[in-house]
Structure 1
């Protein structure tokens, strides 16, 4: 995606929760107003020219339809409520449209049950995803080839983003804003919208999403292992052996796929985990350093600053909001 002129499509279908549809539109409009230019062009896309009826019973008219053949940079699939089999029959246009958008290079992001459309279109096959925990048993039964992650609030795999609730859906939109416009813009929007940016779920894996925009399955498997074991000792020779490669081949393929050398990737993964703890916990910096795999706090601070452009203390002071009393972790 380019820094300006990013085309955003927000899909609307029967049973759409309008609150999850318009959240993205309002966030990208906030970016446009801050830049005083059209960073994003955003429109509602419906399956046909006929308006759809939202969950609340209101009619939603599209700015364009899925038959118009427009390719987008970013597609959003809002949460919806309704019978899945009925919706498949009602909206046969959605699946081929999503396949077309993904093949054209679009990032596709779903809020809560919007992940159903990704799975039904076959785009999540062999990939990781999440949704609201109540939906996961049914989706596991329908789409067993998808690795459904129950405890993860946000998941990215190969340019496909899924989230487990309305708050996570807002984080999802802010993540794309951060990717396009930088962390300061995303942080500014967060403060101005006056919601608590701290989350009980860990954004570490989601913030590493950009390094998974490749199709090398062997390297994906190595990344999956590092996701689980980054805080412990890591032997790249052992990882190469487990992937059936020589160490030199492994190092070359990893960098070609991700754009980073394995050692630097591991540093980034640990720093993202540290960021989460700096913002969302009261742990001291030494404890966080040890928790993410660094026994030497001075080395941890040096690595952290090389990745995040701030010392751990400066990062906490800059990005951690004030605590709010009686904060609820409820997801909708």
Structure 2
């Protein structure tokens, strides 16, 4: 069983703590329903095991102190309130030492938005690209000049360190971690049960293709994911971000390791997976919903990417659907 620790501390945002606990509760409920063994054991920790006051003024009661904790596979650091960060917030030295020891022991770290200051203060991310909330990029750069911070709608992964720019980015990162550990089908099922958005509007689970700092290409990726059902051409993509066709292709390939057209295909196929799981729409209707008027072409493309036809995917997923 994999062990997950969620850090709580004075001034942290409670929604960061409890969005993570609730995510793993959904995972556990799905596993229970499917008759699967529980994958994750989750604890909320604080520096000394005592209650902490969240940014809202409400108290969080942790399960244990970091000194009482065993080794963990994943450590989640919720955001710190921006007012505190701007006032010179500094993480406790014993917490930084604990994070460093656990990371060196093989744990993954997931820092949500301003919680990335813990990673930076511990010296774990020098020369790595880190995502954070757009309003605090300048502040963090000033405090931790050895680190590179960029605003990001979703998340970045730099080795075993994950960082997010939004709360929803935390869900995106957890879904990708889940996909790596439990497989794409289970992660897609979990995504459709998060209830944070309609299935077709959930961000795609496309590992590794946002780990770059080309802001124009990041904007284009956001645009593609929002307009995937429309007719998308290289010319239109270039117009959206002000890049010539040749420059767009080169920069997109360099940043994402995919061509623009292949990225569009992957986004559409991912949206189709979610609709196959969460709706009773026909395959033809789903093809149209994700941007393909020719259903036969969509079926062939889906099988090329997934290894199964949409009908085979849906049949397999029906075993998992409550």
Q: 1: distance between equivalents of 2:203 and 2:191? A: 17
Tell me the distance in 2 between the aligned counterparts of 1:75 and 1:68: 15
SS at match of 2:132: coil
Whether 1:7 and 2:3 are equivalent positions in the alignment is yes
Q: CA deviation at 1:48?
A: 1.1
Match of 1:225 in 2: none
List alignment gaps of at least 5 residues for structure 2: 213-220, 222-245, 273-287, 318-322
Superposed counterparts of 1:1-332, under 5 Å = 5-36=1-32, 37-68=37-68, 70-81=70-81, 82-84=83-85, 87-88=89-90, 91-196=92-197, 197=199, 204=206, 207-208=207-208, 232=249, 271=262, 274-277=265-268, 279=271, 284=291, 305-310=303-308
Partners of 1:114 and 1:162 in 2: how far apart? 8
Contact 2:80 2:114 in 1 (8 A): yes
Residue 310 and residue 144 in structure 1: after superposition, are their counterparts in 2 closer, same or farther (change >3 A)?
Answer: farther
**How high is the TM-score relative to the length of structure 1?**
0.64
TM-score normalized by structure 2?
A: 0.66
For residues 33 and 148 of structure 1, what CA distance do their matches in structure 2 show? 36
Does structure 1 conserve the Cα–Cα contact (< 8 Å) formed by 2:128 and 2:148? yes
Deviation of the 1:186 alpha carbon = 2.0
Cα separation, partners in 2 of 1:157 and 1:302, compared to 1, 3 Å: farther
Measured against aligned partners, the alpha-carbon deviations of 1:240-261 in whole angstroms (never above 9, x if no partner) come to xxxxxxxxxxxxxxxxxxxxxx
| Cα displacement string for residues 30-61 of structure 1 (whole angstroms, at most 9, x for unaligned residues) | 22222233210000010113211011212212
- d(CA) in 1 for partners of 2:2 and 2:257? 31
> Does the 8 Å contact 2:96/2:121 carry over to 1?
yes
- CA shift at 1:157, angstroms? 0.5
After superposition, the Cα gap between the structure-2 partners of 1:189 and 1:200, relative to the gap in structure 1 and judged at 3 Å, is: closer
